[in-house]
Amino acid sequence: MPADILITAPLPPFLYDPLKAGYRCHDYYQASEKAAMLAAEGGAIRGLVQGGGTVTPTALLDALPKLEIISVFGVGYDGVPTTYCRQRGIKVTNTPDVLTDDVADVALALILMTGRGFVRLNRFVHAGEWLTHSPELTTKLGGRKVGILGLGRIGKAIAERVSAMGMKVAYTGRKPQNVRYEYIAELKALAAAVDFLVVACPGGDATRNIVNAEVLAALGKKGTLVNIARGSIVDEPALVAALQAGTIKAAGLDVFADEPRIPPALMAMDNVVLLPHVGSATRETRQAMGDLCKANLDAWFGDKKVLTLIPELQ
């Protein structure tokens, strides 16, 4: 008898179809009568599949007394109440490693697009302006310093990429690591020391709004903020204010506080590059994430093992 699985996020067919073939899937995300679905099926649910950004309230988990595993389709699990899951013995898995390179590519792209003005220059050519005047001069990236907030797998992949371009790297995090990059303990001091501040740490309560007005003031007119992690880490109104006041130079953002809604003020700014949360959005990587998301469920419902248990539960 296949296990009952609750689906709480929109899933691509290359994940959803194999899940439907192996499990009894209940689409909570699309259900119009969510309470009724929980009342009818909640008691049978043994697995839950959600996205990286999906917020899973404990009230929902309370309605799933037989839940054994949450398999996150994404590396970030900031929407999962992990302390609650530990108490109830619910396993939580994610999809690390397979998306590292793609997300790091997006950070590099945002550095190039903001630093070298490539988005503006693209508009310039499309608008026929090259016929009438010369393009603007921008900033040489070699020799500039990149500060990485969160030197995990993705942070390290970003450090490698910018190092290859001759940029210098500094980082902050809970503790110094055995790496060749400069460690700066305080986020504000890191911001003050760099030309690009790249946010690459996990989201969640521990990092909520840590990139605040003070940090942005330290980053200053010389500095560009790049965020490929979670919108929750940056105080978004403070960021808008800093850009409006010219406190910082520019921003390159792939993630936002309330996706897909973006503060209208950002849309109009020429020194801001906006992407629609595409860090992992290649066919190859999303397929690998989907395969790993399902493999974790299969391993659990097969022989009570998982492949990528989150660190907090290890």
- Residue written as token pair 């020799």: 143
* Binding mask of the shown chain, residues 59 to 98, with x at each position contacting ligand 8YV by CB under 6 A: --------------xxxx----------------------
> Taking Cα atoms as reference points, which of 163, 220, 160 lies closest to residue 190?
220
CA distance 29 to 27: 5
In the list 187, 277, 300, 310, the residue contacting ligand 8YV (rule: CB under 6 A) is 277
Site for ligand 8YV contains 51 (CB under 6 A) = yes
What is the length of the chain? 314
Residue 155 lies near ligand 8YV (rule: CB under 6 A): no
Site string (160-179) toward ligand 8YV, x via CB under 6 A: --------------------
Q: In angstroms, what is the minimal distance from the CB of 27 to ligand 8YV?
A: 15
Q: Is 230 a catalytic residue?
A: yes
Told to judge if 86 belongs to the known catalytic residues of this protein, a careful annotator would answer no
Is residue 292 a contact point for ligand 8YV (CB under 6 A)?
no
User: Does the protein bind ligand 8YV through residue 280 (CB under 6 A)?
Assistant: yes
Our answer to whether residue 126 is catalytic in this structure is no
Nearer Cβ to ligand 8YV, position 156 or 277? 277
Residue 279 engages ligand 8YV in binding (rule: CB under 6 A): yes
Task: Compute the least distance from the CB of residue 78 to ligand 8YV, in Å.
Answer: 8
Q: Tell me which of 129, 259, 284, 312 is the catalytic residue.
A: 259
CB of 73 to ligand 8YV, least distance (A): 5
10 Å Cβ neighbour count for 35? 10
Please identify every residue annotated as catalytic.
230, 259, 277
Contact positions vs ligand 8YV (CB under 6 A): 9, 51-53, 73-76, 99, 277, 279-280
